[in-house]
Chains A and B, each alone.
Chain A
């Protein structure tokens, strides 16, 4: 059987033109997806059943036992942390929010360690953006800043920018200029028309210099700024001003370096400035396929995109205090529920040392680095493969992922709903 127009549950591009061939309950071939997506669709070695850590042994347990364990753990916790959420569908995220509210927990998603700083910047200065198709059809200038799409979002270039056809571009490949700004000469820099190499930590200064030039103050710029020559800066500023439609896509190269959200703020303000001259937009290259969905769900349900603390009943938001890395590093939480992410692979060691000290339950189809810190892991269906549900693309376009094969695994939503039901029952008693 071939499933057409399947939705790839890997990165924020959320490509929805994938063809998946299924035979005897297994994916045997994948067409149109990149290497990252193909590998995910073809994934093997799922965990077979829930497991419980007993001393230094792992014991198989039933779903009912695992769900009960999780519900009891969360009900008994004084300051539970519910973390992850980017690797699951929106319907499951909604249950997570209700759960956090019920037990006065903290709910945070992986954006606190990817584009959380971008959100902080947007909360200061806003966000002039657009959907990916607007760029595809119109943009004659695309800037990748601190992002490396060839490695992290391989089809971004072919679907939306460098290699994409565009309604208003006669010969898109020729008429569309691509600029890459990075501290390394990445693969993406090799396919760019212009590469701007910045000294590490110099993004803020370069953005400020470009803003000054766009405002007509080129004469105030020193000969080089963070390793970039004034000539190149002036040339790039002019390219931006003379473009009919410019689009900036920025990545973790801006959010994770020195300055963090101030870098993004400066980039947004550059785009707002350019909007006075021509059409310009800016957007974040979101990583997980549904990290943006997690921000959206949290926002309509609690008012905030990530890092929400219900300990006082109301939704409280203060990144740096109510975010997962901080809460773990301060040894604050006394239980953790992990859904759709792998903090043990992605958090600093100090956080893991605390995870080792507290009860942890994880929902994940595969054994991963976090498994080692779990008391219980519950294998679930993979959204986009054997479960369906809503995901939000990096530009905010919501798409319903398809189920390409059926399995006996429960979805994240089903497992969470069972936990939540037990917890509600206990609280009403």
Chain B
């Protein structure tokens, strides 16, 4: 199914942002908040893994129901998971389209990666795993 992906700050993202190697930060920023009807449609329960595919790649997150999001949109806390699929074009402003990406979401069998695994996939080397 196609969704509009919006990213943004949350308290939990903020609380863990100074400790990005923590499992809490990974858990928060890999959460895909969805409308419960959309989840039903995809056959998802809270905590189920989903594959989110954007214009430049895919990433596995966990779905969570939220009364704050509309049907057809998903909300992902600002961080490395969302950015794994966000395009780098800025339309001559310096600012990517962080809040207006169309993504495809489907149930997945794998677990979300850890932050350092995402970084290593892109050529980095984890320090404090």
Contact = CB atoms under 8 A, between A and B. Distances in A.
**Direct A–B contact present (CB less than 8 angstroms):** yes
Most buried by A among B14, B19, B97: B14
Contacts of A29: none
Contacts of B125: 53, 56, 58, 372
A13 to B, nearest CB: 12
A117 interface: yes
A98 interface: no
A372 B56 contact: no
A402 to B, nearest CB: 19
Nearest to B33: A184
A201 B127 contact: no
B15 A36 contact: yes
A323 B90 contact: yes
B100 A258 contact: yes
A401 to B, nearest CB: 16
Contacts, number: 190
Interface residues of A, number: 71
Given A367-B128, A369-B80, A321 B19 contact: no
B2 interface: no
Summarize B's interface: helix, strand, loop or mixed.
loop
A55 to B, nearest CB: 9
A347 interface: yes
Nearest to A182: B68
Interface in A1-24: 10-11
B14 to A, nearest CB: 4
Contact of A348 (B18, B29, B88, B92): B88
Nearest to B69: A184
Contact of B15 (A39, A148, A349, A350): A39
Given A53-B125, A320-B93, A148 B8 contact: yes
B127 to A, nearest CB: 5
A367 B88 CA distance: 25
A372 B116 contact: yes
A356 B20 contact: no
Contacts of B100: 200-201, 256-258
Contacts of B128: 45, 367, 371
A369 B122 CA distance: 12
Contacts of B95: 112-113, 116-117, 255-256, 260, 325
Contacts of A357: 123
A78 interface: no
A181 to B, nearest CB: 14
Given A151-B11, A184-B70, A321-B92, A352 B18 contact: no
A185 B88 contact: no
Interface string B10-46: 1100111111110000000100000000000000000
A353 B116 CA distance: 14
Contacts of A372: 116, 119-120, 124-127
Given A39-B18, A261-B93, A356-B122, A348 B83 contact: yes
A40 interface: yes
B73 interface: yes
Contacts of B97: 256-258
Contact of B99 (A256, A350, A371): A256
A329 interface: yes
B107 interface: no
Nearest to A36: B14
A368 B17 CA distance: 9
Interface in A330-347: 342, 344-347
Contacts of B124: 344, 352, 355-356, 372-373
A405 interface: no
A116 B94 contact: yes
B122 A116 contact: no
Interface of B: 4, 6-11, 14-21, 29, 56-57, 67-70, 73, 75, 78-80, 83-100, 115-116, 119-120, 122-128
22 contacts: A10-B14, A11-B14, A35-B11, A116-B94, A116-B95, A117-B93, A117-B95, A151-B10, A152-B8, A200-B100, A201-B100, A256-B100, A320-B92, A326-B88, A345-B79, A346-B78, A353-B122, A356-B123, A371-B128, A372-B116, A372-B120, A372-B127
Going nearest first, the 3 A-B pairs with the smallest beta carbon separation are A356-B123, A372-B124, A323-B94
